[in-house]
Copies of this chain bind each other. A is one copy, B any other.
Amino acid sequence: MFEAPIQRLIDELARLPGIGRKTAQRLAFHLLHVEEEDARRLAESILSMRAEVRLCIRCFNVTDSEECSICRDLRRDPSILCAVERPQDIVVVEKTQEFRGRYHVLGGSISPIEGIGPDQLRLRELVARLDDEKVTEVIVATNPNVEGDTTALYVARLLKPLGVRVTRLASGLPVGGDLDYADELTLGRALSGRREM
């Protein structure tokens, strides 16, 4: 046991995901030894993040104003939506610089084990946007796992009858990868999704 103020900080740090007791201890002593200013900046960035961040009223991306910077960007094509599970997935897709439409954050994926059904996802809001924004295609960019696949299937069944094109990110071999290291499921997907040359 450390003296109270340090032990309290260690306990708080150890509540963070992926941070064990040892790491929490190391971080706490780091924060004890850095410049006062540096420790204060970290604490204040936590508080100001909580105070300033809200969800975009249109796509539910995180933002510090009413609409996020992507929805505000007039150069983006509003007729193509990319549906993602979480706000942080948007940054990953943006980095490809291949997508110029807007996003829709579902807020998770369908997972009976975690008790998350379609009702907990922002599907009503997605359907409402189809008309409002004259959407012609929804790219479902949920994770390539059971929950993500289930969610994609559900979204497809929900939206197709409304006359919108629903697509899914391709699964297959990672670029620069090696056949030897591909797991069977990925290789199976790569086979079934093979393309004419």
Interface residues of A (CB under 8 A from B): 1-6, 8-9, 11-13, 15-19, 23, 25-32, 36, 38-50, 52-53, 61-64, 68-69, 86-88, 91
What CA separation (Å) do A84 and B19 show in the bound complex?
A: 26
The answer to whether B17 and A62 have CB atoms under 8 Å apart is: no
What CA separation (Å) do A32 and B86 show in the bound complex?
A: 12
Q: A3-B62, A3-B69 are in contact. Are A44 and B43 (CB under 8 A)?
A: yes
What CA separation (Å) do A49 and B42 show in the bound complex?
A: 13
Q: How many copies of this chain are found per oligomer?
A: 2
The answer to whether A18 and B28 have CB atoms under 8 Å apart is: no
The answer to whether B27 and A17 have CB atoms under 8 Å apart is: yes
State the Cβ distance, A118 to closest chain B Cβ, in Å: 20
State the Cβ distance, A20 to closest chain B Cβ, in Å: 11
By a CB distance below 8 angstroms, the chain B residues around A27 are 16-19
The answer to whether A53 and B18 have CB atoms under 8 Å apart is: no
